[in-house]
Chain A
Amino acid sequence: MENHHSYQVNHLKQLESEAIYILRETAAQFEKPALLFSGGKDSIVMAWLARKAFYPAKLPFPLVHVDTGHNFPETITYRDQFVADIKANLIVGSVQESIDQGRAVEEKGAKASRNALQTVTLLDTIEKNAYDACLGGGRRDEEKARAKERFFSHRDEFGQWDPKNQRPELWNIFNGRKLQGEHFRVFPLSNWTEMDVWQYIKAEKIPLPNLYFADERPVFTRDGVTLAQTDFITLLPEEEASKRMEMVRFRTIGDATCTGAVRSNASTIDDIIEEVAAARQTERGGRSDDKRSETAMEDRKKQGYF
């Protein structure tokens, strides 16, 4: 009789194996997949896992970055280095281009964000390159609408998500069949939590953009959220007064105009893990795009957001 207890693996290894399985399933079931790479930690971990999934071959799909033009400069430096390191192909979809071509209209007012416009550029990029599956770093623990998302998430010919009519997913069997013009979003990290992601980054020694680590940064306050001062944001008179230098870091990295910073002294991965363990706010608690309404995420996802 074999000793079953020696065949236990910890839950991080289980999650890694599951994600690799999903990545390979995506390559096998679709003709032209792409991996959406934002430069945020989740997409970095996903790309890292993709490298493992197909080693020693290169990734069988490109990385696609939807560039709002409102990036933290560190994100772009990091992106280019990372892509070079793993010898991947990079495709950039530009929100600025969508605006210049009149396909997207910039939001008006001081609190304008290009976050919503990403959806237009993303759908355009998908259509132009005929991608039939886009791998995303979304996790179910992030937000209540995402908790209902499938690993293989079907999108109709308008790129929309219909949460009430999703295909059931059982065991480890994934149905990626689709009609002409439809596509899929695939989420290999569905079952990971924020803590799992950090523990994995630590265990694998994955390099990250500096933005995740605490530093003295120029910030201001908008609607109770601390935002970085950047060239893309016009401050309202009452916000001018809140300009200051502060030890902060970012728990998520998105468009610079809406990604909130948290006060923090966490300058190493270990510090961050400690901070995440003690956190009393969800990581998207700092995202002003989620605060626009109770179901803001669902509404954006239905339109075709990640």
Chain B
Amino acid sequence: MSEERGYLDMDLLRFTTAGSVDDGKSTLIGRLLYDSKNIFEDQMEAMELSSKSRGDEHVNLALLTDGLRAEREQGITIDVAYRYFATPKRKFIIADTPGHIQYTRNMVTGASTANLAIVLIDARKGVIEQTCRHAFIASLLRIQHVVICVNKMDLVDWSEEVYERIIGDFKKFASRLDNVVEVTFIPISALKGDNVVDKSKNMDWYQGPTLMYHLEHVYVGPDANHIDARFPVQWVIRPMSNEWHDFRGYAGRVAGGVFKPGDDVVVLPSGFTTKIKAIHTIDGEIPEAFNPLSCTITLEDEIDISRGDMIAKPNNQPKIDQDIEAMVCWFSDKKKLKGREKYIIRHTTKEAKVIVKDIRYKVNINTLHKIDDDLELSLNDIGRICLRTSSPLFYDSYSRNRQTGSFVLIDEFTNETVAAGMIL
């Protein structure tokens, strides 16, 4: 009985892994799962068989995450993969993001839902451009915890000097970043297992935690905003049945703050004010709703409300504007962003047309310098832009609320998602 309680009370840590090609990310994840006994016999058997037929010397732990045919053939990871595992302390979701061609796109995707980022550095190469890029993205996406794993320590004779030099180099760069609350450094060998789950016997000079210990114990504060009440209307529920004749409920997921029956609310964009009558779920009415709960709200007055509208509080409203300043990551390899183009924007449950009015600057993500003489954004570029939307958005800054401050841009002809944006 007590174990069950444990399972239901367990909290969740979502983390992402970043590193460049051959830094050993897949091996690290394989090692985390293997040493924490989260690999099943049939998965191990399949890996052993596969490693043998490829002529690998050791069981190739990377084969666990590289599931696609092309990945196994080329020995690379192609797409963001999600992994799930649990220890008696915590549940984990890993977004494993590959480090080649679409590196920024993949890392931004993985980081958008993560509380913690692991950045891998090859001890032989030290801090390289990609390291800086990964740290910058973690900071831009407002990930609160970063773990720098200096990997392949076995290949530098477990040298403390090498490790200390890398830490020093990284700190120099990181002093120019904001947002990241905590950076932790750990020397590891993913291949041999040192300091991943089990403490290294080869590096007595390191007194800190193993990676797994850190993942299990790092404090992750509530990610959600419980102050600014925001309810983007997702779907209108009208049962049209005898039993629920006049029922008109607004279904959605609370994006911020707390809603209670009797609360004064304002509906945007109409600006009408009313009170919350009840908050419904199939299991009965509930006394309050907050992020991340999905629920259905009924109101005292009949107001015309549809998908894309937002319910907020009269004394705490989001910004309402058609002109938006934002940082964007460009995802398309087919099209560049040059300014003046039209796209579709998806922001909370709302969709609108948008024109890119101006590209303010591009960021050199290796040096953090602003570039203002080359204003085209290509695949993996990050820059600041100014948008005008066809109808007002109800938003907060991304730093205040990840959900009401984020958006994607969609190409209206191909329907591809071409950019991710964070409102300033």
Contacts and interface: CB of A to CB of B under 8 A. Distances in A.
Asked if A and B bind, the verdict is yes
Interface of A: 2, 4-5, 7-14, 16-18, 20-21, 24-25, 27-28, 51-58, 140-141, 143-145, 147-148, 163-164, 166-173, 175, 177-179, 190-191, 193, 195, 199, 203, 273, 279-282, 285, 294-295, 298-299
A170 B235 CA distance: 21
6 nearest A-B residue pairs (beta carbon): A144-B67, A177-B415, A285-B42, A170-B112, A20-B294, A57-B239
20 contacts: A4-B222, A10-B10, A10-B11, A17-B293, A21-B294, A24-B234, A55-B237, A55-B281, A56-B247, A56-B249, A56-B280, A57-B239, A58-B239, A147-B81, A191-B82, A195-B7, A203-B8, A294-B46, A295-B68, A298-B67
A55 to B, nearest CB: 4
A83 B227 CA distance: 41
Contacts of A9: 292-293
B86 A195 contact: yes
A157 to B, nearest CB: 13
A57 B293 contact: no
A171 B402 contact: yes
B234 A7 contact: no
B258 A7 contact: yes
Contacts of A141: 83-84
A279 B40 contact: yes
B406 A173 contact: yes
A171 B403 contact: yes
Contacts of B417: 167-169, 175
Query: Which of B42, B66, B238 has the most CB atoms of chain A within a 10 A radius of its CB?
Result: B42
B407 interface: yes
A7 B254 CA distance: 12
B68 A148 contact: yes
Nearest to B346: A173
Contact of A55 (B65, B252, B282, B415): B282
Given A7-B224, A8-B222, A56 B244 contact: yes
Contact of B41 (A195, A273, A281, A294): A281
Contact of A56 (B82, B243, B331, B415): B243
Contacts of A273: 4
B282 A17 contact: no
Given A58-B241, A168-B331, A282-B42, 16 more contacts: A8-B11, A11-B91, A14-B12, A17-B293, A55-B282, A56-B237, A56-B247, A56-B282, A144-B64, A147-B65, A168-B420, A170-B113, A170-B408, A171-B402, A273-B4, A295-B67
B292 A140 contact: no
A55 B415 CA distance: 32
Interface string B401-414: 01100111010000
A21 B296 CA distance: 11
A177 B344 contact: yes
Interface of B: 4, 7-12, 40-43, 46, 50, 64-70, 72, 78-84, 86, 91, 93, 105-106, 108-109, 112-113, 221-222, 224, 226-227, 234-235, 237-241, 243-244, 247, 249, 251-253, 258, 280-282, 290-294, 296, 307, 331, 344, 346-347, 349, 402-403, 406-408, 410, 415-417, 420
Contact of A163 (B79, B84, B235, B249): B79
B237 A147 contact: no
Nearest to A141: B84
Given A56-B237, A175-B415, A144 B41 contact: no
Contact of A295 (B69, B234, B402): B69
A170 B68 contact: no
Contact of A294 (B72, B84, B249): B72
B408 A173 contact: yes
Contacts of A177: 344, 410, 415
A268 to B, nearest CB: 13
A5 B290 CA distance: 12
B82 A147 contact: yes
